[in-house]
């Protein structure tokens, strides 16, 4: 085993603050320092030397340690079968220097820092990774969820009416997301069970229960949004009755993943009544791009958000209608969702891109119930990721729906200005960080809103944060290892306070790339 010098990176930076914030002191970010109690090293001994250890001299069971550092370390415990000692060193010591000195010993094969390990975090739905649409860089729904949670928003109860073929009311991923005030407009009863499978898939994209250890995740995540299933057949009269029922039930969003070529004034009036009552109406642009590409209704009515489909490469789907009425596009090919048989399946069509947008509308409503349909349209259209021709075009509309930017706009999140430092590279996957200050900190401000690590997309990495015993340092330890070869940022918010309530003038950011 080679001596493990290259596995350790010592990062020390001095951040100078103005006199109005911590005087003219400094903040020291030391990438290899752990908390006083748990700053530990693994000393691996050479096999042939392990049997002839000389321990009496040190009196603590330590191996042959170079004299230059023998007083800096102490024994914690020995892993006899592995030729390893676990030792601790004072938190003020330079880890790199200690390791370098230890590796000079003829008894030592190599030294590594002892670190904590845990699991990665993502929604724990077993088939979440099959939902490419949620992870698309321009959708990145997990980041939108995180942003909402970070500001303590998303506390409103929201109902999305799905006017469709019904729903599998016992599906494991939907049973806790259903408003059982739904109605069957085909047979005028309360049998909402799905006769086709279309409605169950649509409902799953919007609101499949998230973080429940099964199946998939809905666009609304863990926020309080339920589906009101309104079962219809092919008749527009049934759809109109369903719209009026939704108005009576005071739902927040209506999803209509169906349509036809005929303009129906009564249908339009019903939709305008819904919009006037504060309901956001989202409808599918249609799948007839190769069959005349006519404007379809209700998507083409005024005040309806018309949604086209894109594939995983962000190209408009070959079947997606394009016309002056298209407002947005969203994932609509190879969409994995709930099916009528209680399982999961893949679906294609603007029917399935539409609930992505309806789900985002519902997310915005969980933040602010007072939002009008026009206000939600303005947010979605202005924050969409522009594709195709510059500005609005008939293929992409205003662009790809972008829930992250929509949430930022709604909650007033602006890009922070940081005091930045040069990126660090080859950072170990289990790196923990210590941040040193020149003054004692107010412990009530030490939390994951003021000190945190984010990945390249801005999603927070779950971490443990602790105040050091002298109250002049913070330790941030990732709960799970970082991913290899990825970029992360360690951020110290300017709102962090000293005991005298002074704070930083500017937030601090250090970007690092893992080995």
DSSP symbol at 81: G
What pLDDT is recorded for position 416? 64
What pLDDT is recorded for position 19? 26
Contact 355, 257 (CB under 8 A): yes
User: What residues pair up with 193 in beta bridges, in sequence order?
Assistant: 167
Instruction: Say whether pLDDT at 236 is over 90.
Output: no
| pLDDT band, very low/low/confident/very high, at 130 (cuts 50, 70, 90) | low
What pLDDT is recorded for position 132? 67
Integer Cα distance of 454 and 457 in angstroms:
8
Cβ partners under 8 Å of residue 3, min gap 6: 103, 108, 109, 110, 111
Cβ partners under 8 Å of residue 463, min gap 6: 448, 452, 453, 476, 477, 478, 479
Instruction: Say whether pLDDT at 363 is over 70.
Output: yes
Instruction: Say whether pLDDT at 128 is over 70.
Output: no
| pLDDT band, very low/low/confident/very high, at 129 (cuts 50, 70, 90) | low
pLDDT digits (tens, 9 = 90+) for 257-314: 999 888 888 889 899 999 999 999 999 999 988 777 788 999 999 999 999 999 989 9
Collapsing DSSP to helix, strand or coil, 263 comes out as coil
| pLDDT band, very low/low/confident/very high, at 420 (cuts 50, 70, 90) | confident
| pLDDT band, very low/low/confident/very high, at 51 (cuts 50, 70, 90) | low
Q: Give burial (CB, 10 Å; 0-12/13-18/19+) of 413.
A: middle
pLDDT digits (tens, 9 = 90+) for 453-475: 988 767 788 899 988 989 888 99
Integer Cα distance of 467 and 476 in angstroms:
9
Q: Read off φ and ψ for residue 49, nearest 5 degrees.
A: -90, -20
125 part of the active site: no
19 part of the active site: no
Q: How many Cβ atoms sit within 10 Å of the Cβ of residue 19?
A: 10
| Token code pair at residue 266 | 């009564």
What pLDDT is recorded for position 76? 63
Instruction: Say whether pLDDT at 14 is over 80.
Output: no
Collapsing DSSP to helix, strand or coil, 199 comes out as helix
Cβ partners under 8 Å of residue 336, min gap 6: 127, 130, 131, 216, 344, 345, 346, 347
* Average pLDDT rounded to a whole number, residues 49-74: 58
Collapsing DSSP to helix, strand or coil, 168 comes out as coil
B/e letters for 206-231, b = 16+ CB within 10 Å, e = fewer, are: bbbbbebeebbbbbbbbbebbbbbbb
Cβ partners under 8 Å of residue 38, min gap 6: 88, 114, 116
pLDDT digits (tens, 9 = 90+) for 473-497: 899 999 989 999 998 989 888 888 8
Instruction: Say whether pLDDT at 20 is over 80.
Output: no
| Token code pair at residue 103 | 């590796």
- pTM of the predicted model as reported, rounded to 2 decimal places: 0.61
Taken in order of first residue, the domains within the chain and their CATH numbers are 39-113 (3.30.70), 140-398 (3.40.50.200), 418-514 (2.60.40.1220)
Q: Which of 384, 368, 323, 377 is nearest to 350 (CA)?
A: 323
Active-site pick, 351, 463, 489, 503 = 351
351 part of the active site: yes
* Average pLDDT rounded to a whole number, residues 401-407: 93
* Average pLDDT rounded to a whole number, residues 417-436: 86
Percent share of the chain, pLDDT over 70:
81
Percent share of the chain, pLDDT over 90:
44
What pLDDT is recorded for position 70? 72
| pLDDT band, very low/low/confident/very high, at 413 (cuts 50, 70, 90) | low
What pLDDT is recorded for position 30? 31
Active-site pick, 32, 125, 164, 327 = 164
Active-site pick, 28, 105, 198, 252 = 198
| pLDDT band, very low/low/confident/very high, at 139 (cuts 50, 70, 90) | confident
What Å distances lie between residue 349 and 321, 360, 503, CA to CA? 10, 18, 52
């Amino acid at each position: 085993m080679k001596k493990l010098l290259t596995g350790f990176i010592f990062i020390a930076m001095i951040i100078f603050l103005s006199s109005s914030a911590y005087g003219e002191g400094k903040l020291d970010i030391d990438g290899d320092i752990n908390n006083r109690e748990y700053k530990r090293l693994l000393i691996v001994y050479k096999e042939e030397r392990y049997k002839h250890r000389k321990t009496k001299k040190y009196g603590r069971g330590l191996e042959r340690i170079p004299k230059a550092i023998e007083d800096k370390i102490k024994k914690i415990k020995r892993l006899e079968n592995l030729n390893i000692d676990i030792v601790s060193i004072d938190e003020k010591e330079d880890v790199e220097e200690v390791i370098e000195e230890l590796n000079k010993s003829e008894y030592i094969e190599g030294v590594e820092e002892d670190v904590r390990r845990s699991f990665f975090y993502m929604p724990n739905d077993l088939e979440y990774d099959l939902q490419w649409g949620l992870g698309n860089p321009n959708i990145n729904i997990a980041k939108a969820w995180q942003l909402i949670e970070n500001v303590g928003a998303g506390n409103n109860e929201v109902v999305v009416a799905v006017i469709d073929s019904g729903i599998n009311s016992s599906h494991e991923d939907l049973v806790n997301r259903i408003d059982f005030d739904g109605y069957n407009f085909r047979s005028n009863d309360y049998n909402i069970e799905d006769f086709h499978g279309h409605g169950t898939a649509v409902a799953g994209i919007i609101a499949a229960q998230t973080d429940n250890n099964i199946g998939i995740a809905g666009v609304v995540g863990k926020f309080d949004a339920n589906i009101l299933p309104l079962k219809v057949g092919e008749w527009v009269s049934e759809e109109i009755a369903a719209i009026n029922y939704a108005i009576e039930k005071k739902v927040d969003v209506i999803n209509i993943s169906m349509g036809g070529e005929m303009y129906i004034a009564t249908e339009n009036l019903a939709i305008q009544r819904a919009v006037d009552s504060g309901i956001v109406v989202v409808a599918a642009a249609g799948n007839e791009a190769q069959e005349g590409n006519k404007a379809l209704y209700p998507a083409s009515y005024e005040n309806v958000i018309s949604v086209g489909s894109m594939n995983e490469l962000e190209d408009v789907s070959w079947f997606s209608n394009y016309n002056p009425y298209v407002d947005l596009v969203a994932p609509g090919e190879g969409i994995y969702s709930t099916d009528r048989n209680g399982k999961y399946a893949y679906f294609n069509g603007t029917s399935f891109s539409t609930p992505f947008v309806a789900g985002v509308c519902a997310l915005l409503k969980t933040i602010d119930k007072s939002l009008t349909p026009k206000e939600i349209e303005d947010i979605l259209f202005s924050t969409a990721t522009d594709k195709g021709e510059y500005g609005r075009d008939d293929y992409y509309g205003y662009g790809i729906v972008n829930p992250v930017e929509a949430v930022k706009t709604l909650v007033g999140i602006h890009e922070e200005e940081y005091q930045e430092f040069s990126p660090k590279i080859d950072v170990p996957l289990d790196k923990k960080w210590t941040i040193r200050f020149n003054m004692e900190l107010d412990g009530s401000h030490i939390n994951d809103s003021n000190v945190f690590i984010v990945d390249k997309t801005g999603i927070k990495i779950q971490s443990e944060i602790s105040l050091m015993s002298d109250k002049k340092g913070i330790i941030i330890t990732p709960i799970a290892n970082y991913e290899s070869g990825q970029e992360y940022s360690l951020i110290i918010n300017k709102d962090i306070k000293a005991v005298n309530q002074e704070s930083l003038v500017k937030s601090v950011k250090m970007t690092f790339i893992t080995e």
